[in-house]
Amino acid sequence: MEERRLDVLLVEGDGKEAERVNRAFAAHGRVFRLVVRDSVKKALHYVADFSPHLVITNLALPDGTGLKLLSPEGNPKRIPVLVLSEREDQEEARQARNAGALKVVVKTEDSLNDLPALAESALQSRREDRAGTVVRLPLQQSEARSREVLNSLPDLVFRIGEDGTFLECDGAEEGSLAPCRQFVGRRIAEVLPAEAANRALHTLETILRSRRRQTLEVELPVTDGVIVCEVHMAAAGDRQAVAVFRDLTQRRGREEETRRLRRVAALGGLVGAIAHEFNNVLTGILVQADLMLMRLDPGDPLYENADEIRRVGVRAATTVLMLQAFSGTQEFSPRPVDLNGLVLKMKKTLRLFVGEAVALGDHLGSDLGHVYVDPSHIEQIILTLAAETRVHDGKAGAFTIRTGNVIPEENNPLRTGVIPADRRVLLSVSTAGAHVGEPSQRVLIEPEGLPEGQGQASHSDPSLIPGIVDRNGGELKVYAHGGGGVTYEITFPHVVPPREAPAQEVEQAGLPSLEPLRSPGEVVVLLVEDNDMVMGALSSLLKKEGYKVLEAHDGQEALLVSGRFAGKIHLMVSDVKMPNLGGVELAEELGRLNPDMRVLFISGYPKETLFPGGVVDFGKAFLSKPITRDGLLRKVRQLLEAPANKGDPARGRA
């Protein structure tokens, strides 16, 4: 029985090409009956009327594109389609594969001669589909869905020939890598810089030979610069490779921002450690200066020198407070503050933070109201932004501070004749590049959108500023400016300082006066301090005031000293952080043996970092370094003269 011929429709507008294909099928034998149509319109009519077994269509036709024969409307019966293309890199060829073409054949003399074999293979698959052994339609649909998903990804997937030609691409239809899709049809050496191209070609040769995956980094040139990419390459057959390009630009930016924040965090930690050490040094300087002033007559020529040493120490202590503010290690202590005075006090320190190349300016409002804030927190905000300016724009830019009164328009004194009680006080800090006074160029940023550090936040991290402002009862608005500048506008409620507060103490309480205190008599004090300079100064001061002093350089030594002492210890003055045994643990140990003993903790670290809940136990108190004579003696007297807490069985009588 004669085998039935298989109908093949060839859609080709070029008569010479159609004749070449016809000869190839004729030479293949009597298996096929080839029908030729030269336009899309004629081909669609034939498919509708006769339903051939296979369609072979050129993409470029006189009245349109052969892709119409792959559409559900033009090919509702899903007849297998082979596509002929002039070049492998045509966009329509990629679309044909996505639409479900069995194969896209580049038109060469050899490929046209092989068309009968390809047709026979395609029809064999078709017969198997009809027999139920292979379900090609769901497979085509699955492949189409896979390509759709792949094209939605930001990564770019190339198929690369052994000669380095980009043959085909998928993925990255949108995004930073989308322009690189135009590499199809070009060679690696044409699109990459010479050094990167040599590395890529060497990697391609290696994976085709070893069949092992390789990864490398390259820079892809695009219109507005370059994109740093991580490329994963793997062999796909004997003569081709698959390369997945992943944009690393954003990740590198995040990594650099993380490194920057870590540097700022390390700077904050270093500043805190330096401030602690300076507090120890200043304690020695201030106490020794106080002792000299006690011994000298005001008419003595050396008295003025000793007094100047003490004044210099006080100014140094103010600078240390700023360092602690920057590192975030100052305890929360709100009080009425004159922002103008605070800014003027910080000017020298600010110059150190922003560097000489940054223009430093201030515009301070007149008749400025006071605000009830922790001055160290305001210093922390200003110094943090100053450090940011130095980190980002140390060679150019500006850092400007403005202050002023903010009055609601409905209560404007020009209209009402009186200054309203609900006025607020403005503190505005503009970092490098910000043009103050051009509100039309400003864009409001939500505080929650400020950049945050990675991992553990530094106290000098700008993302902490909204929380600091909120804790001090302020309101924050952040504006971005052209050129990378940012302005932080903070307003606080206006307050009236207490009448009894001297004007010079409004902005900072300062150190107590040197009014003399009466000698307490025979009282035993256990002094525990690991810093020799602080130990010597405090021991001399307490002995000068008539106290009997037992000295120990750490907690373990203090236990030995107290064990050997036969009398009663009335007060322990102890550093908090010490080697071997700290002050808190030491107080617990000695408290069991001496329930009436009072405890004064001293430290160069702020109380909030050591005692987050405060020192609430009866008979215990805390004194921050640097320590002055009057500050120490006043605190000692308060502890010793405080009444016994009868409700505390561990304390007994005073």
For the chain, percent of residues with pLDDT exceeding 90:
10
Q: CA end-to-end span of the chain, whole Å?
A: 124
> Which contiguous run of DSSP H or E holds residue 437?
none
Instruction: Please report the pLDDT score of residue 392 as a whole number.
Output: 47
Cβ partners under 8 Å of residue 443, min gap 6: 479, 480, 481
Instruction: Please report the pLDDT score of residue 393 as a whole number.
Output: 42
Mean of per-residue pLDDT scores for the chain: 75
Cβ–Cβ < 8 Å for 27, 51: no
Asked whether the predicted pLDDT for residue 251 surpasses 90, the reply is no
CATH of 333-511, one of 3.40.50.2300, 3.30.565.10, 3.30.110.40, 3.40.50.920: 3.30.565.10
DSSP notation for 356-384:
TTSEEEEEPPSSPPEEEE-HHHHHHHHHH
Cβ–Cβ < 8 Å for 362, 401: yes
Report, in this order, helix, strand and coil percent for the chain, each rounded to 5: 45, 20, 35
Query: What's the burial of 297, exposed, middle or buried (CB within 10 Å: 0-12/13-18/19+)?
Result: exposed
Q: In which residue are the tokens 């069991």 written?
A: 592
| Peptide bond just before 498 cis, omega within 30 deg | no
3-state secondary structure of 103: strand
Q: Please give the Cα distance from 368 to 225 (Å, whole number).
A: 50
Q: Please give the Cα distance from 39 to 95 (Å, whole number).
A: 20
Cβ–Cβ < 8 Å for 199, 216: yes
> Which contiguous run of DSSP H or E holds residue 406?
strand 398-406
Asked whether the predicted pLDDT for residue 117 surpasses 50, the reply is yes
pLDDT, tens digit (0-9, with 9 covering 90-100), for 400-450? 899 998 876 554 443 333 445 567 899 998 876 444 444 445 555 555 444
Task: Give CA separation, 36 vs 3, 56, 71, in Å.
Answer: 22, 10, 20
Strand 240-247 and strand 156-161: the pairing is antiparallel
> Looking at 286-295, 475-484, 607-616, which range is the least confident one?
607-616
Cβ–Cβ < 8 Å for 187, 215: no
Neighbours of 415 (CB within 10 A): 9
- Average pLDDT of the segment spanning 169-187: 74
- For residue 332, give the DSSP letter: P
The domain segmentation of the chain, as residue ranges, is: 6-142, 153-247, 333-511, 524-641
User: Where on the phi/psi map is residue 614: left (φ > 0), alpha (ψ -120 to 50), or beta?
Assistant: left
Asked whether the predicted pLDDT for residue 172 surpasses 60, the reply is no
Neighbours of 177 (CB within 10 A): 22
**How many Cα atoms are found within 13 Å in the side-chain-facing hemisphere of 356?**
0
User: Which tokens sit at 527?
Assistant: 């002094």
Same fold, 6-142 and 524-641: yes
Q: In which residue are the tokens 């050490």 written?
A: 277
> Which contiguous run of DSSP H or E holds residue 452?
none
Beta bridge partners of 492: 425
- Average pLDDT of the segment spanning 19-39: 84
Its pTM surpasses 0.85:
no
pLDDT, tens digit (0-9, with 9 covering 90-100), for 382-405? 877 876 665 444 445 678 899 998
Helix 15-28 and helix 115-131, axial crossing angle in degrees, nearest 10: 70
Task: Name the amino acid, one letter, at 326.
Answer: F
Find out if CATH 3.40.1080.10 is the number for domain 6-142.
no
Q: Please give the Cα distance from 302 to 343 (Å, whole number).
A: 34
User: Which tokens sit at 277?
Assistant: 């050490």
- Using alpha carbons, select from 476, 474, 472, 473 the residue that is nearest to residue 462: 476
Instruction: Please report the pLDDT score of residue 572 as a whole number.
Output: 94
The sign of the dihedral angle between the CA atoms of 479, 482, 484, 485 is negative
Task: Give CA separation, 512 vs 310, 314, 628, in Å.
Answer: 12, 11, 8
Beta bridge partners of 214: 233
> Looking at 125-139, 207-221, 247-261, which range is the least confident one?
125-139
Beta bridge partners of 229: 218, 247
Asked whether the predicted pLDDT for residue 527 surpasses 90, the reply is yes
Q: Please give the Cα distance from 491 to 406 (Å, whole number).
A: 8
Higher-confidence residue of 152 and 230: namely: 230
Domain 153-247 is classified in which CATH homologous superfamily?
PAS domain (3.30.450.20)
Query: Residue 334: which pLDDT band, with cuts at 50, 70 and 90?
Result: confident
| CATH (residue range 524-641) | 3.40.50.2300
C-alpha angle 513-518-521 in degrees, rounded to nearest 5: 140
- Using alpha carbons, select from 65, 67, 58, 158 the residue that is nearest to residue 106: 58
Query: Residue 596: which pLDDT band, with cuts at 50, 70 and 90?
Result: confident
Neighbours of 459 (CB within 10 A): 21
Task: Name the amino acid, one letter, at 78.
Answer: R
pLDDT, tens digit (0-9, with 9 covering 90-100), for 561-594? 999 998 889 999 999 888 888 888 999 999 888 8
Instruction: Please report the pLDDT score of residue 150 as a whole number.
Output: 56
- Average pLDDT of the segment spanning 57-71: 88
Strands (E), 469-628: 475-480, 486-495, 524-528, 548-552, 571-575, 598-603, 620-624
Q: Please give the Cα distance from 45 to 320 (Å, whole number).
A: 91
Helix ranges restricted to H, 296-366? 301-327, 339-354
Instruction: Please report the pLDDT score of residue 435 as a whole number.
Output: 42
- Using alpha carbons, select from 614, 592, 380, 372 the residue that is nearest to residue 498: 372
User: Which tokens sit at 205?
Assistant: 């040769």
Q: Please give the Cα distance from 252 to 257 (Å, whole number).
A: 9
Q: Please give the Cα distance from 231 to 263 (Å, whole number).
A: 30
Q: Please give the Cα distance from 73 to 9 (Å, whole number).
A: 17
Cβ–Cβ < 8 Å for 352, 389: no
Helix 136-152 and helix 91-99, axial crossing angle in degrees, nearest 10: 130
- Average pLDDT of the segment spanning 38-66: 88
- For residue 5, give the DSSP letter: P
Tell me the backbone φ, ψ of residue 173, rounded to 5 degrees: -70, -20
User: Where on the phi/psi map is residue 164: left (φ > 0), alpha (ψ -120 to 50), or beta?
Assistant: left
The sign of the dihedral angle between the CA atoms of 222, 224, 225, 229 is negative
